[in-house]
Amino acid sequence: MIVIREATVKDIDKIILIESEWKNYYSCWGRDGFIKEFEKENSYTFVAEIEYEICGFINFWVIFNEIEINSLVVSKKFIRRGIASLLLSKVFEFSKKFNIKRLILEVNENNVAAIKLYEKYGFSIYNIRKKYYDFKYDAIMMERFL
Ligand SMILES: CC(C)(COP(=O)(O)OP(=O)(O)OC[C@H]1O[C@@H](n2cnc3c(N)ncnc32)[C@H](O)[C@@H]1OP(=O)(O)O)[C@@H](O)C(=O)NCCC(=O)NCCS
C-alpha cells in the first residue's frame, strides 16, 4: 500500500538520495536546500511510502491563494506505478482545504514524462520562458485552476 504523509526533517537523507538519482535531469536542492525549505512557513513537502520506504516526494509553496509546485520526484525503481499521481492528488486535496484557486509550475521542455503527467491532471501551458534552462531549453509554465 502507498501511504502519503507530510515529510519531516528526518526524511531529508532519503529525499536527497531520490533527487540525486535524477541529477542529470532535474536541478537538485540538496541537503542545505531542504533544510531551508523545512524552515519556511509556506513550504510543504509530502512523501510517498511503500512499506515505510520513501519512494517519492513533492514540494510546494503556498503563496496567498496559489500553490507553486517546485519539485515532484519518484525514485527510478518505483516509476510508472502511480506514485506521482498520488502525490499530486494530495496537493489537490490540500488545495481544496485551504481554498487555493490556482496551481502553477515550471518544467523543462525536454521533460516529456512530467509534461504528460501534468497534462493528464489538468494543467495547461500559460507561458514559455525561452532558453531558460542552461540558456538552451525552454521552461514550460503550466497552470491549473481549481
Ligand atoms: C515525472 C515523474 C515524477 C513521474 O512519476 P511517476 O510516479 O512515474 O508517474 P505516474 O506513474 O503517476 O504517471 C502518471 C502519468 O504521467 C505520465 N507519465 C509518467 N511517466 C511518463 C513517461 N516516462 N512517459 C510518458 N508519460 C509519462 C502518464 O500520462 C502517466 O499516466 P499513465 O500511466 O496512465 O500513462 C518521474 O518520472 C520523475 O520523478 N522524474 C524525474 C523528476 C522530474 O523530472 N520531476 C518533474 C519536474 S519537478
CATH of the domain at 130: 3.40.630.30
Query: What is d(CA 11, CA 23) in angstroms, rounded to the nearest whole number?
Result: 19
The pLDDT of residue 80 is 98
Mean pLDDT of the chain: 96
What pLDDT does residue 23 have?
86
Residue 75 and residue 18 in contact, taking contact as beta carbons nearer than 8 Å: yes
* Domain count across the chain: 1
Range of the domain at 124: 2-145
Residue with CA nearest ligand 1 atom 16: 117
Pocket probe for ligand 1: among 21, 45, 79, the residue whose CB has the most ligand atoms within 8 Å is 79
Alpha-carbon gap, residue 80 to 82, rounded angstroms: 6
The continuous run of DSSP H or E covering 59 comes out as strand 53-63
| Lowest mean per-residue pLDDT among 5-14, 25-34, 91-100, 132-141 | 25-34
Q: How many CA atoms lie within 13 A of 37 on its CB side?
A: 26
Q: Do 49 and 38 contact (CB within 8 A), yes or no? A: no
The neighbouring-strand residues paired with 108 are 139
Using CA of residue 33, residue 82, residue 47, residue 16, what is the dihedral sign?
A: negative
Digit-coded pLDDT (tens) for 42-53 = 999 999 999 999
User: What percent of the chain lies above the pLDDT cut of 70?
Assistant: 100
Residue 95, pLDDT score = 97
Q: Is 85 in the pocket of ligand 1 (CB under 6 A)?
A: yes
Residue 122's pLDDT band (cuts 50, 70, 90): very high
Ligand 1 near 55 CB (within 6 A): no
Which tens digit of pLDDT belongs to each residue from 23-40?
Answer: 877 778 999 999 999 999
